[in-house]
C-alpha cells in the first residue's frame, strides 16, 4: 500500500475528524472472463483500520481496471483515445459523427466502455495517418457547420504537414547514414534545423538577388566549404555531389520541402523553376555569430550572381574540377577555395 496524500477532514467511516489517507494498492478483478491486475485508489481510516471507496474513486478504479485490460489485449487506453482526439481538437460527438459511429461512442470509449478491435484499429489509423483523417473529413464536409468544418480542416492539415515533415526528416537522415566521414560531411553530422536557418538567412537577405534552386545549392556549398576552410567544420553537415551545374546536396529534392523552407514553383515551357521567398523573419536561433560571418561573406561575394555566373564560379573551383561526375565532393579541397 502506497500513501498518496493525507487529508484532514471528517471521516465518513468513523465519523471523527482526523487525517484520512488516500492510498494506492494492487487490485485484481475478473473482466470479460480475464483476470486483470491494476492499481486501485482507496481512502483508508487508520482509526477503524478500514478502506473506503467513495463514488469518484469507484469510477476511477473502474477505468483503471479497464485500461489494464486494454493494455493486456493491445487496445488503446482511455488516455490514448483522448490524446488522439485532442491531436485534431475535435469534440467527442463530432469525431463519432465523422466516423459514422453512434453519437456517444467516443464518450463511452473515453470512459467505461472498452472498444472492440475494429474501432480500435480505426482510431490507431487516424492517429498514424493524418492524410487519411483529412480525406474522411473532406468526404463528410456536409455533416458539419461551415465554421466548424473550417476549424477541423485547418487543424487536420497542420497535423498532416507535421507528419510529412517528420517523414521527410527520417528519409533525409536515412540518405545521410552512410556519410560519416569528415571528408564527406565537413566534420559535422547533418543538422537539419541549422540547414533550414541557413536557407532562410539567404532567402531573407536583400543582398541576394534572383535566388532559385541552382543558386541556393551552390551558396550552401560555398558556406560549408568556407566554414571548413576557416574552422575545420562545415555549418550544416550536408554532403555534396558533383552534378553538371555544380555542387548539389544529397537528397536536395527532399530538403526543398522541409517545413520552414518557403518557395514558389514557376512554370516555364520546358521545365519548372523553384524560387525561394522571404519569410520576413530575422530570427535564426541555431546560427552562431561565426556562422553569420561566414554566410555574410558568401552573400557579399555570390549574392548578386545570376545562375550562370555562380555555376561558372563553381566550375572554376578545384573541388569541382577534381571530382568525377556524380561523386561526393570532398572537403579536403575546401582549403583551396577561391573565396577568402
Tens of pLDDT, residue by residue over 138-160, are: 999 999 999 999 999 999 998 88
pLDDT at 339: 95
| Calpha distance 137→129 (Å, rounded) | 13
pLDDT at 242: 98
Which residues on neighbouring strands pair with residue 267, listed in sequence order?
272
Report helix, strand or coil for 271: coil
More confident residue, 96 or 24: 96
pLDDT at 218: 98
**Over pLDDT 70: what percentage of the chain?**
100
pLDDT at 101: 95
Q: And the C-alpha cell for 273?
A: 523553376
Q: And the C-alpha cell for 46?
A: 487508520
* pLDDT of 270 over the 80 cut: no
pLDDT tens readout for residues 96-142: 999 999 989 999 999 889 999 999 999 999 999 999 999 999 999 99
Q: And the C-alpha cell for 320?
A: 569541382
pLDDT at 297: 98
* pLDDT of 306 over the 90 cut: yes
pLDDT at 110: 94
**What is the maximum span of the chain, computed from C-alpha positions, in angstroms?**
93
As a whole number, the mean pLDDT across the chain is: 93
What is the mean pLDDT of the segment spanning 190-215?
97
pLDDT at 12: 81
Can you give the pTM of this predicted structure? 0.67
Q: What is the CA radius of gyration of the chain?
A: 30
What is the mean pLDDT of the segment spanning 317-323?
97
* pLDDT of 173 over the 90 cut: yes
Which residues on neighbouring strands pair with residue 2, listed in sequence order?
24
Amino acid at each position: 500500500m502506497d500513501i498518496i496524500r493525507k487529508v484532514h477532514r471528517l471521516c465518513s467511516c468513523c465519523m471523527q475528524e482526523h487525517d484520512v489517507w488516500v492510498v494506492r494498492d494492487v487490485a485484481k478483478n475478473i473482466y470479460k472472463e480475464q483476470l486483470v491486475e491494476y492499481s486501485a485508489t482507496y481512502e483508508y481510516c487508520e482509526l477503524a483500520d478500514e478502506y473506503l471507496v467513495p463514488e469518484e474513486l469507484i469510477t476511477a478504479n473502474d477505468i483503471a481496471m479497464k485500461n489494464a485490460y486494454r493494455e493486456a489485449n493491445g487496445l488503446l487506453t482511455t488516455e490514448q483515445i483522448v490524446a488522439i482526439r485532442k491531436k485534431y481538437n475535435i469534440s467527442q460527438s463530432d469525431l463519432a459523427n465523422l466516423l459514422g459511429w453512434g453519437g456517444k461512442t467516443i464518450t463511452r470509449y473515453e470512459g467505461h466502455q472498452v472498444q472492440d478491435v475494429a474501432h480500435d484499429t480505426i482510431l490507431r489509423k487516424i492517429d498514424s495517418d493524418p492524410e487519411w483523417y483529412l480525406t474522411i473529413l473532406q468526404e463528410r464536409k456536409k455533416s458539419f457547420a461551415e465554421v466548424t468544418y473550417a476549424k477541423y480542416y485547418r487543424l487536420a492539415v497542420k497535423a498532416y504537414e507535421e507528419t510529412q515533415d517528420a517523414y521527410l526528416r527520417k528519409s533525409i537522415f536515412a540518405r545521410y547514414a552512410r556519410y560519416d566521414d569528415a571528408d564527406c560531411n565537413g566534420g559535422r553530422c547533418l543538422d537539419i534545423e541549422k540547414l533550414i536557418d541557413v536557407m532562410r538567412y539567404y532567402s531573407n537577405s536583400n543582398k541576394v538577388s534572383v535566388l532559385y534552386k541552382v543558386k541556393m545549392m551552390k551558396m550552401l556549398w560555398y558556406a560549408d566549404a568556407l566554414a571548413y576552410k576557416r574552422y575545420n567544420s562545415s555549418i550544416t553537415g550536408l554532403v555534396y555531389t558533383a552534378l553538371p551545374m555544380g555542387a548539389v546536396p544529397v537528397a536536395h529534392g527532399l530538403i526543398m520541402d522541409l517545413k520552414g523552407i518557403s518557395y514558389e514553383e514557376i512554370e516555364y515551357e520546358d521545365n519548372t523553376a523553384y524560387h525561394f521567398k522571404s519569410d520576413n523573419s530575422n530570427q535564426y536561433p541555431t546560427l552562431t555569430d561565426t556562422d553569420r560571418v561566414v554566410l555574410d561573406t558568401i552573400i557579399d561575394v555570390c549574392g548578386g550572381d545570376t545562375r550562370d555566373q555562380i555555376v561558372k564560379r563553381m566550375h572554376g573551383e578545384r573541388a569541382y574540377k577534381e571530382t568525377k561526375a556524380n561523386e561526393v565532393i570532398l572537403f579536403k579541397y575546401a582549403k583551396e577555395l577561391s573565396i577568402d
